[in-house]
Chain A
Amino acid sequence: MSVSGPDFTTLWVSRISRNRLSLVLVAPTLLLLVLLLFFPPTGSEGGALLQFIGRFHPIAVHLPIALILLVPVLELVGRTQQFSYLQASVPFVLGVALLTALAASLLGWCLARNGGYSGPLVTQHLWGGFFVVVISSLCLGLCGREGRAARLYPIALAASIGLVGFTGYRGGQLSLGEDHLTEYMPGTLRKVLLVSRSSAGRATGGAATFYGVRIQPIFAGHCISCHGPSKQRAGLRLDSYAALMRGGKHGVVIKPGDARGSDLFRRITLPPSHDDFMPKEAKQPLSGDQIGLIEMWIAAGASKTQPDLMTGPGPQPVTVAAEVRFAEIDYAAVAKKRAAVDAALIELQKRFPNILEYESRGSADILLNASLLGPRFADEDLAALAPLQDHIVTADFSRTAITDRSAPAIAAMKRLRVLRLMDTKTSDVTVQSLTTLDQLESLSVFGTKITPAALPALARLTKLQHLYAGETAISSTRSLPESLKNKIVRE
């Protein structure tokens, strides 16, 4: 399959005159020039057929890019003895690149002219494409020649590469956003390259104004991809207050004080199926809150300077009901909190399945419900829970076989908030030892042998809210310590 270099070149050059190719290309290049000069993009949408054709621009454009970038590779590698035959393919590659660049440029014009683009980005992109065509024609003319042309050729080639880069970058900005290369650039690289964060799409109305804080961010989030610095469909820009108030080719879009009469408001409140509805093209419609904000702002005069007096993220009703805010759980922090207790808990969960569990997904506190084991849970079992004593905040020993011998173990659970000793054999001894539980809020001694003698000890528990003492000797007693009077539940 190998064709020796010189033979092939001779063959190729003799078959198709490069000059003749250039002549063939002159007409479409001139056509492109005329289109760019006299029919530039206007920002309004045009013929559907041309738009349809134009949409193939992004597909077609990558072929000439690749081919033009291939040329210097062929030239450089072709200088070695081994690959010298590669040089022979340069004119062919350049020729194909030129043809496809021209096609892609014409497609690009179709898209720009009819797809509603306007602004400096698209203009520079279009002219960049045109000059890529011109410079690659020049390269084709110069390559393989002798004398001065041979010295100009590398310069022209370098220029075409540069142009391809520039035009491609502008194209990327058009489709992916102005800061598409720097948006997610790592911070250190950003510093090295002295790239600052782009301000495009941010509030331009000032920090503390209603417009700047509430309104501009809505436009920035939903509108400026079509009505911003890169595209100005219908000649309208919404990226600054001045441009917003200037309006577009259909006239002003905001009538201060008259929300219903403002074209912008009309369009965002139409049914989404309506032709005039904004935002178009399956973009996220504005939420009810956002529409409400815009309505309020226009109705209040559409001021640029009016200060933002609202608090919170959205419009607040006149009577504000408290809302529950759910915090996210920081699982790394939870794991850290639990590190000290996890192993002991897992070990004890194996011995006592189902009765020990963390209080919540975000907590290292433990709930203990020994009542499920009933009489099968006794003093020895409670003693075995000692490794968790600093973490248990709720303990239910109802109907278990524990006795006063467990009193020290319970008293050691210093963080207990809730303790249930219902129907156990515990008595005053246990209750009187609970004075260490200064966090205790609720204590059930229902059905135990507790007597009024234990009450003074309980009176010292400052956080105690409820003492459930039904079916005990306290149930009928009359003399209660003052501090417990409202806390005892007896019937």
Chain B
Amino acid sequence: MADSESRVCRKTYSSSVGEVHPDVQFAALEAQTRRHFLRSLSSGVGALFMGTIASQVTHAAKVGGAAAEGTRLDFRRDPTTPLLALPPQFPAKVRRVIYLHMAGAPSQLELFEHKPELKRFDGQDCPASFLAGKRFAFISGVPKLLGSQYPFHQAGQSGQWISDRLPHIEQHMDDLCVIKSMRTDQFNHAPAQLLVQTVNPRLGYASFGSWVLYGLGTENQNLPGFIVLLSGGKSPDGGKQLWSSGFLPSVYQGVQCRSHGEPVLYLDNPSGVSRPLRRTMLDAIDDINQQTYAAFGNPETVTRIAQYELAFRMQMDATDAMDIRKEPEGVHAKYGAKPGKASFANNCLVARRLAERGVRFIQLYHWGWDSHGSDAKEALNLGFADRCREVDQPTAALLSDLKQRGMLEDTLVVWGGEFGRTPMRENRNGQEMKYIGRDHNPGAFTIWMAGGGVKRGVSHGETDDMGYEIAKDPVEIRDFHATMLYLLGFDHHKLTYQFQGLQQKLTSVKPARVVTEVLA
């Protein structure tokens, strides 16, 4: 939708020099520096090869955005509109994702995993078989088993187990699909978070949100298509890499917005610069950029123009979308939101507003779940309870708002951390600690999903009686992503990007499986 103020720059950009007027060609030749000459010289050999495949490319382009070369899906767009919405490969179950990442890894044994056997062995020495060949972040020597610190009960018509820490989310138990058999191979936060978000524990890979944006684009061209909001007082350990576009074009990376003040830093005009003046300035810059593009035909130049225009349109829409003061008081109360503060509650409300405005991928990180028991904030009986309070009501309010409006039908809401926690009480340096906590457990953790195409009110997978390892239906992170991509309308093998000689894909090179058992 073209803002009336913004200049419509939908000129068709042609990279063919042959169509340029001779005078312009001459001027372009004059503009050639030695650097340009050397560069084109080195790319000349490549161009010879490209010439041979150019006819195929043109053909694919003719068939349009919906076409493909052979069986490969085509994700190319006009460089002026890199975020243009494209149809999914297959009819999608969901059209947007709201991913609530509980950074630090919440304890499944205090929330969703009811383990009466573990409770029975509470305080006893951990069996040696639990420790053989395992690596822990902090546990050493022989730790004690630790039963759940909170009582469990069954909730809703589905009768799923939940502890007393999430009384609001409990109201939605019949809408949730709880996967209790998630598994990872990383036991430290940063790589484990990277694994959850990029399906690779190392830096440099594209995040789930970036892949979704690359594959589907976004509907609202006045807002970023992938927005990240942080709360909990600390950034997740994986840092900005968690919403990085990796090897995908940088236009697909997540945009971290601030929860108060300007949503995007430096988005507003500097004081003394009016919006019309800004427009005049952008027009001048665009002119120069377009001259550069006419001379050298680098698509990155057009991307730059598009980015300036997006920022200009965002000045209006982003500020409006992020401004939760526009919501009535009743809604604030429902979420527990307090405008002007950075909180998970505020972010949940913003998430709903962004979802309504056609933002494709909204990701919330809430730090503080790393309940080792090393201090009060990390204690299962203290800080952990606070974290639960911080997320319980707003998460439930978000689910409720989406459901009420019918949006839960085509939205996927995901809630979870990066690994689980041990059934053993942490004993840092082999000593009993003042506060109660658990160490990292990559062997099993719980996440839940809710929304279109997902079974409602069910649990999938089981862990052993101690909640330590998976006993039934393990779900690898890549399986989880294959499943989410399926809900978004993609065969995860076909959402690919050519990089370093590989058809890169989100689900990595290992075989991944769509977890059909959780599909509605």
- Point out residues on A near B: beta carbons under 8 Å: 321-324, 326-329, 331, 334-335, 352-355, 357-363, 365, 369, 371-373, 376, 398-399, 418, 420, 422, 442-444, 446, 466, 468, 470-471, 489-491
Instruction: Say yes or no: A372 contacts B63, CB within 8 Å.
Output: no
Which of the candidate stretches B108-116, B260-268, B290-298, B402-410 sits at the interface with the other chain? B402-410
Whether B159 is near chain A, meaning CB under 8 Å from some CB there, is no
Nearest to B400 among chain A residues (CB) is A491
- Point out residues on B near A: beta carbons under 8 Å: 1-2, 63, 66-68, 71, 73, 84-92, 219-221, 356-358, 400, 403-406, 409-410, 486, 489, 491, 493-494, 513-514, 516-517
Task: Choose from A360, A372, A471 the contact partner of B219 (Cβ within 8 Å).
Answer: A372
Instruction: Say yes or no: A361 contacts B88, CB within 8 Å.
Output: yes
Task: Choose from B89, B220, B358, B404 the contact partner of A360 (Cβ within 8 Å).
Answer: B89
Instruction: Say yes or no: A360 contacts B92, CB within 8 Å.
Output: yes
Instruction: Say yes or no: B90 contacts A354, CB within 8 Å.
Output: no
Instruction: Say yes or no: A326 contacts B87, CB within 8 Å.
Output: no
B321 nearest CB across to chain A (Å):
12
Q: Which chain A positions have C-beta within 8 A of B85?
A: 354, 357
Task: Choose from A331, A363, A446 the contact partner of B406 (Cβ within 8 Å).
Answer: A446
Task: Tell me the bound Cα distance from A17 to B513 in angstroms.
Answer: 78
Task: Tell me the bound Cα distance from A399 to B88 in angstroms.
Answer: 25
Instruction: Say yes or no: A361 contacts B491, CB within 8 Å.
Output: no
Nearest to B483 among chain A residues (CB) is A324
Instruction: Say yes or no: A354 contacts B220, CB within 8 Å.
Output: yes
Q: Which chain A positions have C-beta within 8 A of B356?
A: 371, 398-399
Which of A323, A328, A357, A422 has the most B CB atoms < 10 Å from its CB? Answer: A357
Nearest to B66 among chain A residues (CB) is A361
Q: Which chain B positions have C-beta within 8 A of A335?
A: 63
Task: Tell me the bound Cα distance from A365 to B87 in angstroms.
Answer: 11
Nearest to B71 among chain A residues (CB) is A328
Nearest to B482 among chain A residues (CB) is A324
Instruction: Say yes or no: A369 contacts B71, CB within 8 Å.
Output: no
Task: Tell me the bound Cα distance from A471 to B403 in angstroms.
Answer: 13
Instruction: Say yes or no: B1 contacts A372, CB within 8 Å.
Output: yes
Knowing A357-B87, A372-B358 are in contact, say whether A324-B63 is a contact too (CB < 8 A).
no
Knowing A353-B1, A360-B90, A468-B406 are in contact, say whether A369-B68 is a contact too (CB < 8 A).
no
Instruction: Say yes or no: A323 contacts B513, CB within 8 Å.
Output: yes
Nearest to B519 among chain A residues (CB) is A324
Instruction: Say yes or no: B91 contacts A359, CB within 8 Å.
Output: yes
Q: Which chain A positions have C-beta within 8 A of B221?
A: 353-354
Q: Which chain B positions have C-beta within 8 A of A418?
A: 406, 409-410
Task: Choose from A359, A372, A442 the contact partner of B409 (Cβ within 8 Å).
Answer: A442
Q: Which chain B positions have C-beta within 8 A of A466?
A: 406, 409
Instruction: Say yes or no: A331 contacts B90, CB within 8 Å.
Output: no
Instruction: Say yes or no: B406 contacts A444, CB within 8 Å.
Output: yes
14 contacts between A and B (CB under 8 A): A323-B516, A326-B90, A354-B84, A357-B87, A358-B66, A361-B66, A361-B90, A362-B90, A363-B91, A371-B358, A372-B1, A468-B405, A470-B404, A489-B404
Task: Tell me the bound Cα distance from A357 to B85 in angstroms.
Answer: 8
Q: Which chain A positions have C-beta within 8 A of B357?
A: 372
Instruction: Say yes or no: A321 contacts B71, CB within 8 Å.
Output: no
Instruction: Say yes or no: A326 contacts B491, CB within 8 Å.
Output: yes
B57 nearest CB across to chain A (Å):
16
Task: Tell me the bound Cα distance from A297 to B423 in angstroms.
Answer: 43
Task: Choose from B88, B403, B489, B513 the contact partner of A489 (Cβ within 8 Å).
Answer: B403
Task: Tell me the bound Cα distance from A323 to B515 in angstroms.
Answer: 8
Instruction: Say yes or no: A355 contacts B219, CB within 8 Å.
Output: yes
Task: Tell me the bound Cα distance from A470 to B1 in angstroms.
Answer: 29
Knowing A361-B66, A371-B358, A466-B409 are in contact, say whether A354-B219 is a contact too (CB < 8 A).
yes
Knowing A324-B486, A354-B220, A491-B400 are in contact, say whether A442-B87 is a contact too (CB < 8 A).
no
Task: Tell me the bound Cα distance from A321 to B473 in angstroms.
Answer: 10
Instruction: Say yes or no: B493 contacts A326, CB within 8 Å.
Output: yes
Instruction: Say yes or no: A360 contacts B91, CB within 8 Å.
Output: yes
Nearest to B404 among chain A residues (CB) is A470
Closest 8 CB pairs of A and B: A444-B406, A326-B491, A468-B406, A324-B514, A470-B404, A322-B516, A358-B87, A360-B91
A424 nearest CB across to chain B (Å):
13
Task: Tell me the bound Cα distance from A466 to B514 in angstroms.
Answer: 27
Task: Tell me the bound Cα distance from A446 to B2 in angstroms.
Answer: 28
B362 nearest CB across to chain A (Å):
16
Task: Tell me the bound Cα distance from A442 to B514 in angstroms.
Answer: 26
B432 nearest CB across to chain A (Å):
43
Known: A331-B67, A353-B221, A354-B84. 7 other contacts (CB 8 A): A329-B71, A357-B87, A358-B87, A468-B405, A468-B406, A489-B404, A491-B400
Instruction: Say yes or no: A369 contacts B405, CB within 8 Å.
Output: no
Task: Tell me the bound Cα distance from A399 to B358 in angstroms.
Answer: 13
B318 nearest CB across to chain A (Å):
14
B248 nearest CB across to chain A (Å):
19
A290 nearest CB across to chain B (Å):
15
Task: Choose from B84, B489, B514 the contact partner of A323 (Cβ within 8 Å).
Answer: B514
Instruction: Say yes or no: A326 contacts B494, CB within 8 Å.
Output: yes
Q: Which chain A positions have C-beta within 8 A of B67?
A: 331
Q: Which chain A positions have C-beta within 8 A of B513?
A: 323
Q: Which chain B positions have C-beta within 8 A of A322?
A: 516-517
Nearest to B85 among chain A residues (CB) is A357
Instruction: Say yes or no: A489 contacts B358, CB within 8 Å.
Output: no
Task: Tell me the bound Cα distance from A448 to B63 in angstroms.
Answer: 42
Task: Tell me the bound Cα distance from A357 to B64 in angstroms.
Answer: 13
Q: Which chain A positions have C-beta within 8 A of B90?
A: 326-327, 360-362
Instruction: Say yes or no: A324 contacts B516, CB within 8 Å.
Output: yes
Knowing A360-B87, A360-B89 are in contact, say whether A468-B486 is a contact too (CB < 8 A).
no
Q: Which chain A positions have C-beta within 8 A of B219?
A: 354-355, 369, 372
Task: Tell me the bound Cα distance from A265 to B220 in angstroms.
Answer: 59
B171 nearest CB across to chain A (Å):
10
Q: Which chain B positions have C-beta within 8 A of A365?
A: 91
Task: Choose from A360, A373, A446 the contact partner of B489 (Cβ within 8 Å).
Answer: A360
Q: Which chain B positions have C-beta within 8 A of A359?
A: 87, 91-92
B481 nearest CB across to chain A (Å):
14
B358 nearest CB across to chain A (Å):
5
Q: Which chain B positions have C-beta within 8 A of A373?
A: 1
Task: Tell me the bound Cα distance from A352 to B403 in angstroms.
Answer: 28
B310 nearest CB across to chain A (Å):
13
Knowing A323-B514, A353-B2, A361-B88 are in contact, say whether A331-B68 is a contact too (CB < 8 A).
yes
Instruction: Say yes or no: B406 contacts A422, CB within 8 Å.
Output: yes
Task: Choose from B84, B86, B220, B410 the contact partner of A372 (Cβ within 8 Å).
Answer: B220
Task: Tell me the bound Cα distance from A306 to B54 in angstroms.
Answer: 54
Task: Tell me the bound Cα distance from A448 to B81 in angstroms.
Answer: 35
Task: Tell me the bound Cα distance from A326 to B409 in angstroms.
Answer: 23
Nearest to A394 among chain B residues (CB) is B410
Task: Tell me the bound Cα distance from A323 to B90 in angstroms.
Answer: 16
Nearest to A447 among chain B residues (CB) is B405
B486 nearest CB across to chain A (Å):
6
Instruction: Say yes or no: A361 contacts B89, CB within 8 Å.
Output: yes
Instruction: Say yes or no: A491 contacts B406, CB within 8 Å.
Output: no
Task: Tell me the bound Cα distance from A398 to B356 in angstroms.
Answer: 9
B416 nearest CB across to chain A (Å):
22
